[in-house]
Amino acid sequence: MLTDYHLHLRPDGEDTPAERYFTAENVDRYREAAAAAGVDDLGVSEHVYRFRQALDLWRHPFWLEQASDDLDAYCEFVRGAGLKLGVECDYVPGAEGRTAALLEAREFDYVVGSVHFIGDVAVDHEGFDIWDGSADPDEVWRRYFEALAECARSGLFDILAHPDLVKVWGRGRPLPERDPRHYYGPAVEAIAESGIAVEISTAGLRKPVGELYPAPAFAAMCAEAGIPFALSSDAHLPEQVGFGYERALAFLGELGVEEISVFERRRRRLESAATPVGGDR
């Protein structure tokens, strides 16, 4: 069984209205791409901040600019299309109760929890770049993984998205002086205690950093702690569905991990990610 759960039906950025992308034709393009990539279980997880209801959680300028769609119309569309229903929800410190209310009011199959922002600035957004000015890389990495630990511990989410997103720019931004494992440790401990699944995301292969999320050392620490993994592409276009899965499966194999998380109505089970006998994957 191969999954692709962390998936967007449209690109980020301007002029990407819901009515153009939340269509049966667009879903068909994703389905065809999934079939070609050997992905059996397909779900959608639109960014929560693209919905008006997200403004109950946070009123950051970026969210105010983005929050134009209706979350319930989205849920109805995805269900009607026969795809698993997810959402990519930022962890907003201090908004845990409101986040829980928003998520529990809908019948998601899974919720992907993300950390993009630390305070009012983001690790992956050039418009609100944490690296503008004189950010100390060790401080940025420490604060990022601290936020990731809090995201896991909040208990709000099923899958922890792109767990070391802070590296997204690769050498395009300063790197910490300390061994990153120093920052991974407390986060992995929080993840293990929380029971959340860690996403292996091939999106990093498409970004300046050019490697999977998470880094091998982070993933090895998770595997050692017995943390379950989930597999996704974070596709924003049909052709990105199942992108780089051969690399991801080889990576899981090197970690000695044979099973991935499958979700339904926020219940997790583990299934073999291996090629079925006679399969042509």
Cα–Cα distance measured from residue 132 to residue 56, given in angstroms and rounded to the nearest whole number = 28
Determine the 3-state secondary structure of 242 from DSSP: coil
Stretch that binds Zn ion, among 212-220, 234-242, 246-254, 269-277 (CB under 5 A): 234-242
Residue 164 binds Zn ion, judged by CB under 5 A: no
Q: Is 12 exposed, middle or buried (0-12, 13-18, 19+ CB in 10 A)?
A: exposed
Task: State the minimum distance, in angstroms, from the CB of residue 234 to Zn ion.
Answer: 4
Contacting range for Zn ion; rule: CB under 5 A; set: 71-79, 194-202, 228-236, 239-247: 228-236
Sign of CA dihedral 144, 118, 228, 235: negative
CB nearer to Zn ion: pick between 99 and 114: 114
Q: Site size for Zn ion, by CB under 5 A? A: 3
Closer Cβ to Zn ion, 69 or 88, answer by number: 88
Q: Which two tokens stand for residue 39?
A: 């992905």
> Taking the complex as a whole, how short is the minimal distance between the CB of residue 162 and Zn ion, in angstroms?
6
Q: Which is nearer to Zn ion, 88 or 158 (CB)?
A: 88
CA distance 30 to 105: 27
Q: What is the Cα gyration radius of the chain?
A: 18
Q: Which stretch binds Zn ion (CB under 5 A): 71-79, 128-136, 143-151, 231-239?
A: 231-239
Q: Which is nearer to Zn ion, 114 or 202 (CB)?
A: 114
**What is the bridge-based pairing of β-strands 121-122 and 117-118?**
antiparallel
Rounded least distance, CB 5 to Zn ion, Å:
10
Nearest distance from residue 46's CB to Zn ion, in Å?
9
Compute the least distance from the CB of residue 120 to Zn ion, in Å.
17
Burial of 65 (0-12, 13-18, 19+ CB in 10 A): exposed
Question: Of residues 234, 241, 243, 248, which one binds Zn ion by CB under 5 A?
Answer: 234
The span from the CA of 253 to the CA of 260, in Å, is 11
Please report, as residue ranges, which positions from 104 to 133 form the binding site for Zn ion (by CB under 5 A): 114
CB 166 within 8 A of CB 141: yes
Residues in contact with Zn ion by the rule CB under 5 A: 88, 114, 234
